[in-house]
Structure 1
Amino acid sequence: MASISTNVTVRQATPDDAGRLIGVLAETFLHDPVADWLIPDHDDRRFISYRYFTHIVGHGLQYGHVDMAADGSAAAIWYPRPEPSPAVAADHRVGVREATGTYAPKFVLIETMLESHHPPEVHHYLAYAAVSPGHQGRGTGTALLSNHHQQIDPLGMPAYVHATSTRNRDLYLRLGYLPGPSMVLPDGGPKIWRMWRAPLGITIPASFFTPHLSDR
């Protein structure tokens, strides 16, 4: 397990924090390998990223649980699973299409792929996590995620995440996540790692390690 930075204060975000969190997520996303696949045009990427994460942060504040570093340098959006209600899922799909415009088909495709690989077991899903580029490497991400783990571990609640870069994957490994079969986005897209974290004494479901047809 990774050590937790004692210099990072974590709190639950409120709607008043939305502007700062949108900026953290959007600016971090610009450097993610998936961004190259989703929005190859660099002139469009920042504009679309801010529109997309405006929707994502609003949706997370309404339907999920959003944690943030108190200094505004990091954010994590969690959702309790199983499946969201059809109304919540439909609201999300509409918001994604409106935010991403001509890039919507790829955004819809990746979300469909991720959902098709989602474990059916009850868990907390880390949908998005980001640390501002200028604050990375300081233990901020570790502190942010460990705060949530400390809340769900006593409940025997597992956690699940998709790692979209080797840097993120390595962080999750240090935090006790185990890798399952990965998937590769089509048309030369990057690899995405499925990762599951089970509290001590909780059995990891065998279905998590079963490859899907799109796994490589």
Structure 2
Amino acid sequence: MVTIVARAAAKADIRTLSHVLARAFYDDPVTTWMLPDTKSRTKNLSRLFATMTRHHHLGGGGVEVACDGPVIGAAALWDPPNRWQQTVRAQLAMTPTLVRAFGFRLLSAHEAMELLKRCHPEEPHWYLAVIGSDTGVRGRGFGQALMRSRLNRCDAERCPAYLESSKAENVPYYERFGFIVTGEIVLPGGGPTLWPMWRAPR
């Protein structure tokens, strides 16, 4: 039996992890609202996750993948304390991909991201921006391995953690790791609801 191991991601992992996350988020309420075209959604999600990882998350040292042998089954994009906001340089680097992916939905996507920024806690914390398991390995513990890896560090550093759940059915999953719901965020323009969740260190 092969053990699932969480490890830090490298640049060489970006292509694979972006495909994993694209499949994981294909039916997510936020991505289906922002990217309504079912034919191009997977390709655009892969582009988005790749550029986000390359230009923002990877530099903070918070990107991890869960592997079963050589296979990447899940990925998590964490940002360290006080590093969750993108730099101007990163924003400029990502702009061409954002325009290509969102097209006429770019303004709606921008408004949604700005709302999430305004609702973001000010207290220093580890921010779980994205976590997802490939559709073929869900329920096998890949996501749990990623959660335990980073939350163990949070506890060792006595640092809180924060995320926004885009699915109501995922809230109990995060609660099992110690997160609690702190409110609701309704995206503008008829968008879906997200549940901000906070976890105090243990």
- The answer as to 2:49 corresponding to 1:53 is yes
Alpha carbons 1:97, 1:104 under 8 Å: kept: no
| C-alpha contact (below 8 Å) 2:111/2:188 kept by paired residues | no
C-alpha distance in 1, partners of 2:149/2:128? 13
Q: Distance in 2 between matches of 1:168 and 1:95?
A: 32
Question: Are 2:96 and 1:94 equivalent residues in the alignment?
Answer: no
| Alpha-carbon distance, 1:81 to partner | 2.5
Match of 1:208 in 2: none
Partner SS state of residue 81, structure 1: coil
Runs of 4+ with deviation above 3 angstroms: none
TM-score (norm 1): 0.82
Farther off after superposition, 97-106 or 186-195: 97-106
Given residue 15 of structure 1, which amino acid in structure 2 is its aligned partner?
K
Instruction: Please name the residue that 2:16 is paired with.
Output: 20
**Cα distance, 1:32–1:8 mapped onto 2, change above 3 Å:** same
What pairs up with 1:107-126 in 2 under 5 angstroms?
A: 107-126=109-128
2:79 alignment counterpart: 79
- Distance in 2 between residues matched to 1:163 and 1:144, nearest whole Å: 16
TM-superposed CA distance for 1:62, in Å, is 2.1
**1:9 and 2:11 correspond:** no
After superposition, the C-alpha distances for 1:48-105 in whole angstroms (9 at most, x for unaligned) are 21221121121211234111112301001111132557xx422333344321321322
Shift in alpha-carbon separation, 1:84–1:129, aligned structure 2, 3 A? closer
Gaps of 5+ in 2: none
2:66 is the alignment partner of 1:69: yes
Check whether the contact 1:142–1:171 (CA below 8 A) recurs between aligned residues: no
Gaps of 5+ in 1: 1-5, 201-216
Q: Match of 2:167?
A: 165
RMSD of aligned alpha carbons: 1.8
The CA deviation string for residues 19-68 of structure 1, in whole angstroms up to 9 with x for no partner, is 11111111112110111210112223123212211211212112341111
Counterparts of 1:143-154 in structure 2, within 5 Å, are 143-154=145-156
Secondary structure at the counterpart of residue 150 of structure 1: helix
Does the CA-based 8 Å contact 1:162-1:192 persist in structure 2? yes
Count of matched residue pairs? 193
**1:96/1:107 contact within 8 Å kept:** no
CA distance in 2, matches of 1:35, 1:43: 13
Against the structure 1 CA distance between its residues 106 and 97, is the aligned structure 2 distance closer, same or farther, given a 3 Å change threshold? farther
Residue 108 of structure 1 and its aligned partner are, at CA, apart by: 1.5
Counterparts of residues 198-209 of structure 1 (less than 5 Å): 198-200=200-202
